[in-house]
């Protein structure tokens, strides 16, 4: 067996940022939830709210950007 000595493809700081980005994306999906009417035959205009159409997608994209930057960023000398 090969001994890696704890060398991973990504440093610990990048893994932390990936987790943060994932949590931001989950927050965006939580913001998108709701807005359903009490009965299927009833229309609810709440589905077209600012939170669901604008804010939630921006938060989800921001989380994805954080993840991509965390993966691409090179390890800096500390």
Going from N- to C-terminal start, the domains of the chain cover 12-34+43-72
Environment class of residue 20 by beta-carbon count within 10 Å: exposed (0-12), middle (13-18) or buried (19+)?
middle
Instruction: Give the whole-angstrom CA distance, residue 74 versus residue 72.
Output: 6
pLDDT, mean of residues 4-18: 81
- pLDDT given at position 15: 92
Q: Under a CB-based contact definition with an 8 Å cutoff, are residues 37 and 43 in contact?
A: yes
> What tens digit of pLDDT does each residue of 21-78 get?
999 999 999 999 987 778 888 888 888 999 999 999 999 999 999 999 999 987 655 5
Environment class of residue 3 by beta-carbon count within 10 Å: exposed (0-12), middle (13-18) or buried (19+)?
exposed
Q: Is the pTM of this model over 0.75?
A: yes
Tokens of 24: 């931001």
Tokens of 38: 């009490």
């Amino acid at each position: 067996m090969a001994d890696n000595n704890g060398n991973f493809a990504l440093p610990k700081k990048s893994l932390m940022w990936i987790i943060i980005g994932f949590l931001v994306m989950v927050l965006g999906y939580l913001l998108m939830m709701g807005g359903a009417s009490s009965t299927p035959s009833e229309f609810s205009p709440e589905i077209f709210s600012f939170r669901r159409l604008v804010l939630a997608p921006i938060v989800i994209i921001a989380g994805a950007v954080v993840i991509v930057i965390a993966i691409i960023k090179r390890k800096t000398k500390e």
